[in-house]
Amino acid sequence: MNTINKLDCVALTCDLPEHGLVAGDVGIAVLVHGEGVAYEVEFVGYDGHTVALLTLERGQLRTLATRDIPHARELAVA
């Protein structure tokens, strides 16, 4: 499992329907808690608005790999 550092791009490994997020959505680790126990991750729309700012555990995230590809999807209306 790769280390996640502050300002790394990360992908969700699980759906978070209460926040409108699905596995594979990409966010930025803006804060690292307890040497990688948990992270504050910001998910942002392409227009720059914050979709969610969440505290997530390491198991809910993965680092991006060179074989990953960006993907756009429309957020569900809340």
Which pLDDT tens digit goes with each residue over 56-68? 999 999 999 999 9
Tell whether 48 is covered by a domain.
yes
Number of domains in the chain: 1
Q: Which two tokens stand for residue 56?
A: 């997530």
Tell whether 30 is covered by a domain.
yes
Tell whether 49 is covered by a domain.
yes
Sheet with 50-57, edge to edge strand ranges: 50-57, 38-44, 26-33, 9-12, 61-63
SS3 24: coil
Other Cβ atoms closer than 10 A to 61: 20
What is the domain extent for residue 48?
A: 9-63
Residue with the two structure tokens 């930025």: 28
Specify the pTM: 0.92
Over 80: is that where the pLDDT of 8 sits? yes
Mean pLDDT of the chain: 94
User: What pLDDT digit, counting tens, does each position of 12-35 carry?
Assistant: 999 999 999 999 999 999 999 999
Tell whether 72 is covered by a domain.
no
Confidence of residue 76 (pLDDT cuts 50, 70, 90): confident
Tell whether 45 is covered by a domain.
yes
